[in-house]
């Protein structure tokens, strides 16, 4: 009751509500993120299905999304069971792994495995199409937000401004995409989750604070590093491939260093799992050095 009373007399600050355009953009980016997660689960189901057929293709190929692995999987769906023929479908650098491929593809794949594999590939293709559709729609909505516009060399601004090579001020998506590991899709997701393009360096947990130590907490991290961590939280596995690894706080122990004033260099300080908000500072993003 006392909170309602304080609200009535204007002593409580109202919560931030983003504009309708940003709320619509958030719906699209969150829907796209859910589809990306579902696509990842489909690839994991496919890998488990192949391993159930004693086909260890994922142990030789870097991932099942490569062209060589795709050709082998499609040949298995068509009914090909000879490991020598399947291994001959390798391309480029995977040709050097011919013997390992023959051994990995010598499984017990049956017709029902091929049918289930085809169903999973069709589901992955459908998810790819829907993900691309949502990404295109999110790009259109972002271009319609005036705060996300850039400035061309002649000083004009608009939905398509700031995309040229000589633009003095790129648009908000292009500026965020300059951070290593952030794609334009993840940049739009960050804009949607932060509330508006202009709020990125100014409000709340996204406020820029210069770091002075190589290892610093998220609230004290530079804006570029903080945006990278936010992109990892927003995009999940999609953002973690091209960015430096951030500790999750579980099963990770930081390197022990000698305690100052201890009994020689052998005395080490106690260290447990790194905090979930503690992130390593990548080089070249503006963090100050000790």
Find all residues with CB under 8 Å of 19, minimum gap 6, and list them: 145, 196
Q: Is the dihedral of CA 220, 224, 225, 230 positive or negative?
A: positive
What's the pLDDT tens digit per position in 32-80?
999 999 999 999 999 999 999 988 898 899 889 999 999 999 999 998 9
Q: Tell me, what's the pLDDT at 163?
A: 76
In the chain, which ranges are continuous DSSP H helix?
2-8, 20-52, 67-77, 83-87, 98-105, 111-143, 172-177, 184-194, 223-235, 237-240
- Cα(284)–Cα(286) distance, integer angstroms: 6
- Cα(101)–Cα(60) distance, integer angstroms: 7
Q: Tell me, what's the pLDDT at 230?
A: 59
Pick the more confident residue, 158 or 199: 158
Q: Tell me, what's the pLDDT at 123?
A: 95
Q: Tell me, what's the pLDDT at 201?
A: 45
Q: What percent of the chain has pLDDT over 90?
A: 32
- pTM, two decimals, is 0.67
Pick the more confident residue, 27 or 148: 27
Mean pLDDT, residues 160-166: 76
pLDDT averaged over the chain? Answer: 74
Structure tokens at 205: 């947990």
Pick the more confident residue, 153 or 285: 153
What's the pLDDT tens digit per position in 170-193?
888 888 888 888 889 999 998 888
What confidence category does residue 209 fall into, taking pLDDT thresholds of 50, 70 and 90?
very low
Pick the more confident residue, 40 or 162: 40
Q: Tell me, what's the pLDDT at 156?
A: 80
Q: Tell me, what's the pLDDT at 125?
A: 95
What's the pLDDT tens digit per position in 102-158?
999 988 888 899 999 999 999 999 999 999 999 999 999 998 888 888 888 788 888
Report whether pLDDT(251) > 90.
no
Q: Tell me, what's the pLDDT at 285?
A: 38
Structure tokens at 3: 């909170």
């Amino acid at each position: 009751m006392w909170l309602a009373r304080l609200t009535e007399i204007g002593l409580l600050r109202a919560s931030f509500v983003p504009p309708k355009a940003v709320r619509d953009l958030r719906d699209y980016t969150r829907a796209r993120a859910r589809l990306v997660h579902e696509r990842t689960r489909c690839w994991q189901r496919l890998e488990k299905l192949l391993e159930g057929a004693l086909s260890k293709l994922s142990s030789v190929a870097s991932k099942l999304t490569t062209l060589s692995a795709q050709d082998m999987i499609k040949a298995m769906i068509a009914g090909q069971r000879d490991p020598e023929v399947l291994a001959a479908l390798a391309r480029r650098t995977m040709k050097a792994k011919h013997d390992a491929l023959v051994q990995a593809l010598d499984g017990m794949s049956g017709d029902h495995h091929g049918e289930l594999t085809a169903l999973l590939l069709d589901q992955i293709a459908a998810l790819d199409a829907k993900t691309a559709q949502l990404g295109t729609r999110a790009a259109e909505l972002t271009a319609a937000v005036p705060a996300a516009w850039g400035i061309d060399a002649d000083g004009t601004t608009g939905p398509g401004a700031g995309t040229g090579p000589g633009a003095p001020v790129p648009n908000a998506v292009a500026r965020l995409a300059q951070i290593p590991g952030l794609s334009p899709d993840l940049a739009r997701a960050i804009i949607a989750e932060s509330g508006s393009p202009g709020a990125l360096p100014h409000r709340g947990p996204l406020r820029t604070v210069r770091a002075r130590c190589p290892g610093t907490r998220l609230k004290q991290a530079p804006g570029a590093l903080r945006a990278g961590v936010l992109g990892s939280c927003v995009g999940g596995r999609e953002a973690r491939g091209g960015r430096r690894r951030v500790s999750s706080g579980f099963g990770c122990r930081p390197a022990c260093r000698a305690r100052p004033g201890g009994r020689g260099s052998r005395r080490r300080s106690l260290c447990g799992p790194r905090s979930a908000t503690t992130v390593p500072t990548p080089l070249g993003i503006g963090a100050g050095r000790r």
